[in-house]
Amino acid sequence: MPVIDIYSVGFWLVACFALIALHQIAVYLFLYGKLAFYKEAGKPTNTEKPPVSIIICAKNEADNLTEFLPKFLTQNYHKFEVIVVNDCSSDNTDDVLREYAKIFPNLHVITIKEDDYYKHGKKFALMVGIKGAKYEHLLFTDGDCYPQSENWISEMVQGYTPEKEIVIGYGPYRAEKSFLNKLIRFDTFAIAIQYLSLAIDNKAYMGVGRNLSYKKDLFFKNKGFSTHYHINSGDDDLFINQNATHVNVGVIISKDSLTYSIPAKDFSEWNRQKARHLSTSTMYSGASKNRLGILHASNYLFYAFFIASLFFIDLIAITAALFVVKSVVQLIVFNKAAKKLEEKDLLGGLLLFEFLLLFLYPIWHTQKRYANTTKWKG
C-alpha cells in the first residue's frame, strides 16, 4: 500500500486555497470594485427631463400607504403621476387611496377586484398599472417603500441617455435594532454589490422592483412578463435578465436615489421571502447562471479549503496570511461600497454575516422548489 505523504497533501491543499484566495481578491478588486470606486457621470445640463409614471402595486398596505405615499406624491419634479394599483386588498387600502386622491390630483388609483375563478399574482397588477400609465418612462417601487429624498425621481432619470432603456437603483431595508435586521440588510447589501457591479460592467442580470425604472416601449416590445408570467416572482429580476443588453442599462446609486423598505419582522417571514425570490434563478440566462455559479462556488471553496488547510500546522502561517489579505481587500471594497449605499453600520459583522449566509443559502435553494409562486404577499 502506498504511503501518503501528509506534507504533500498539505502543500496541495494550501496551493488550492491560494488559487481560490487570489480569485477572490481579483473578484473584489476588479468586479466589485467597479461599484466601490464607481463615479456617476456628471449631471447633464440643458437636458429636458421626461415626464414619469410611478407605479406602485399595493395589497393590504393601508398603514404603509398612509405613511409613505405622500413622500412619492410630493416629489420635487416638474411632471409625474403616481399610479397605485389596489390589488384585491381586504383592509382599508381603498379608503386611504380615496382620501389621498382628493388631495393630490397626480394620484391615479386602479382597483382590481377579487375574482373567485381567476387568481393572479403581482405581475397582473403591474401590467394593469403599466397599461394605465400616461408616460413612457416608468418608475417602480412597492407599497411598503419610501424614497430617501424628494429628489428621487430627478436622480433616477439621470440614468437615462439615448441608448439607455433601463435604470437600476438600490433599495435598502430600513435599519432597526436587532441582529436579524442587520443580517437581512447585509444580505441585501451583498446582493446589491454583485448585481450593481455587474450592471456597471455592462453585464446586468437583475434589478429590484423596490427601485427600478424602464421604458414602457421596452416592456411591450419584448412582450412584458409573457415568458415567466406563470410564476409570481421575477417581475424585476427576470424582466431585467431577459431584456438587459450590454448598452441599455444605467445605474444610479446616489444618496437621493435610494428607496427604503420595511424588513421582515421575524426569521420565518424572511425565510419565506428568500425561498420565493430564489425560485426565479433557474430561469436566468445561461451566461448569468455561469457567472453567478462561479462567484458562489468560489465563496464556498474559499472557506472549505481554508478550514482544511488549518490542519497542517507547518503551513498555517501561509494559510492565515492568505486569509488576512483576502479579508482586508474585501473589507476595503465593502467599506467603499457601504459608504456609497449608506450601509456603513454593517461592516462590523462582515465575516459573521457572510459565514451565516453560506449556511442559509443551501437551505433556501432547497426550499425554493416548494415556495408559493402564486401568492405575492407574505
- Domain extents for the chain? 52-286
Give me the percent of the chain exceeding a pLDDT of 70. 93
How far apart, in whole angstroms, are the C-alpha atoms of residue 261 and residue 341? 14
Predicted confidence at residue 3, as pLDDT, reads 40
Could you report the per-residue pLDDT of 98-118, keeping only the tens digit for each? 999 999 999 999 999 887 677
Kindly state the cell numbers that stand for 313.
500546522
Predicted confidence at residue 57, as pLDDT, reads 96
Band (63; pLDDT cuts 50, 70, 90): very high
Residues 6+ apart with CB under 8 A from 19: none
Band (378; pLDDT cuts 50, 70, 90): very low
**Coil vs helix vs strand at 291:** helix
Give me the percent of the chain exceeding a pLDDT of 90. 81
The mean pLDDT value for 126-132 works out to 96
- Tell me how far apart the 2 most distant CA atoms of the chain are, in Å: 87
Predicted confidence at residue 367, as pLDDT, reads 79
Kindly state the cell numbers that stand for 284.
436566468
Per the CB < 8 A criterion, the answer to whether 108 and 363 are in contact is no
pLDDT surpasses 70 at 123:
yes
CA nearest neighbour of 198 among 34, 25, 336: 34
The mean pLDDT value for 16-41 works out to 94
Could you report the per-residue pLDDT of 77-102, keeping only the tens digit for each? 999 999 999 998 999 999 999 999 99
How far apart, in whole angstroms, are the C-alpha atoms of residue 18 and residue 12? 10
**Coil vs helix vs strand at 54:** strand
Could you report the per-residue pLDDT of 244-285, keeping only the tens digit for each? 999 999 999 999 999 999 999 999 999 999 988 888 989 999
Band (10; pLDDT cuts 50, 70, 90): confident
Enter the DSSP assignment of 44: P
Give the global pTM. Answer: 0.92
Check whether domain 52-286 has CATH 3.10.129.10, yes or no: no
Band (163; pLDDT cuts 50, 70, 90): very high
Question: CA geometry: angle at 228 spanning 170 and 126, to 5°?
Answer: 55
Could you report the per-residue pLDDT of 165-195, keeping only the tens digit for each? 999 999 999 999 999 999 999 999 999 999 9
82-86, 224-228, 331-335, range with the lowest pLDDT: 224-228
Q: Which residues pair with 110 in a beta bridge?
A: 85
pLDDT surpasses 90 at 294:
yes
The mean pLDDT value for 59-78 works out to 97
Name the average pLDDT for the chain: 92
